């Protein structure tokens, strides 16, 4: 039974949000009993932990954390019907489906109820990131050859990193890397830039350092609702620019709205990222203050991949 071992660190992260301040205050008054139960739980002394958490749930019937740990402990003793009831109580008292329904799935498997186990896992997958437990828990060994389980695992991995396998989200990957940046025409050093994937591979983050220590960042992501890429640029001079656009003929083509300027004009920008082989990207920016009739080059830079 590896459920407790696999969820141990995850549970500690989640438990801070389980229950209410009122119930936490009650826990303080029973610190010794809670500590004793937690000690048995951490030692995987399931019989003792089940007894102690059983007492705690009697005293604090709406403490989801206690019900959840009672379910884990009961499952550890092989009392899966009782564990199932405890996990249900945990769900009713604030425990997330990623934990409560996952626990029910393990209990159902202990009862040889494959159909209900898969249904509970389906709810767990919808309720949170559980792919690590799905792939590493020995309690699920009997499901590993099940076609339905394979679909659940694929969905769980997608929820954990929803942008990794989406074609649009990977269109700007040619910019990822660490770069020496120079002016395109004169070859003068302009700065350094590190471009990396963050937030489940949904966001491409730029960390820029220019001359005299000037620094800025941009956050680039594909907006699935508007079907376009968007960039939010911020820097250490209080600058902020919002670009939007799409990949066009292999070039990331960004635009801004016409933004009012201090001198009363309205500036519209056109920013392009042009891949030039695997180790070079040109960044070309133009601006227009007459509604796009004429354009002036703002900067023209070339990114050279660091060796």
Is the model's pTM score more than 0.75?
no
247-256 confidence digits (pLDDT tens): 999 999 999 9
Extract the tokens encoding 152. Answer: 């659940």
What is the CATH architecture of 3-160? Answer: Alpha Horseshoe (1.25)
Provide the pLDDT for residue 132: 61
Mean pLDDT of the chain: 86
Sequence-separated (6 or more) residues with CB below 8 Å from residue 306: 177, 178, 179, 180
> What's the pLDDT at 38?
95
pLDDT of residue 160: 67
The pLDDT, as a whole number, for residue 117 is: 85
Tell me the CATH class for 168-305.
mainly beta
The predicted structure's pLDDT at residue 136? 60
CB 33 within 8 A of CB 56: yes
Question: Residue 15: its pLDDT value, please?
Answer: 47
Token pair, residue 263, equals: 């001198």
Contacts of 200 (CB under 8 A, 6+ apart): 160, 161, 162, 163, 164
Tokens 């695997």 map to which residue? 278
The domain locations on the chain are: 3-160, 168-305
The token pair at 13 is 């992260």
- Opening angle at CA 22, ends 20 and 27, nearest 5: 95
Kindly give the parts of the chain with pLDDT less than 50.
2-29
Q: How many CB atoms lie within 10 A of CB 153?
A: 19
- pLDDT for residue 97: 87
């Amino acid at each position: 039974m590896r459920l407790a071992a696999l969820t141990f660190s995850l549970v500690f992260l989640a438990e801070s949000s389980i229950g209410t301040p009122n119930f936490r205050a009650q826990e303080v008054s029973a610190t010794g009993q809670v500590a004793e139960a937690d000690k048995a739980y951490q030692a995987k002394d399931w019989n003792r932990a089940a007894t102690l958490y059983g007492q705690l749930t009697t005293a604090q019937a709406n403490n989801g954390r206690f019900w959840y740990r009672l379910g884990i402990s009961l499952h550890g003793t092989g009392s899966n019907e009782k564990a199932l009831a405890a996990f249900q109580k945990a769900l009713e008292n604030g425990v997330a489906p990623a934990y409560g329904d996952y626990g029910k799935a393990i209990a159902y498997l202990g009862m040889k109820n494959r159909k209900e186990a898969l249904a509970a896992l389906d709810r767990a997958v919808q309720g949170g990131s559980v792919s690590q437990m799905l792939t590493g828990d020995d309690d699920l060994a009997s499901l590993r050859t099940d076609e339905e389980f394979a679909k659940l695992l694929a969905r769980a991995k997608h929820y954990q990193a929803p942008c990794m396998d989406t074609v649009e989200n990977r269109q700007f990957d040619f910019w990822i890397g660490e770069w020496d940046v120079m002016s395109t025409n004169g070859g003068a050093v302009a700065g350094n830039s590190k471009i990396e994937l963050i937030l489940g591979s949904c966001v491409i983050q730029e960390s820029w350092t220019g001359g005299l220590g000037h620094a800025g960042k941009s956050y680039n992501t594909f907006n699935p609702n508007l079907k376009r890429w968007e960039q939010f640029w911020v820097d250490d001079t209080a600058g902020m620019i919002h670009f939007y656009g799409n990949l066009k003929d292999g070039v990331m083509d960004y635009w801004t709205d016409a933004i009012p300027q201090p001198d009363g004009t309205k500036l519209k920008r056109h920013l392009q990222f042009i891949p030039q082989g695997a180790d070079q990207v040109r960044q070309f920016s133009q601006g227009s203050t007459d509604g796009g009739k004429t354009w002036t080059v703002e900067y023209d830079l070339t990114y050279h991949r660091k060796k």
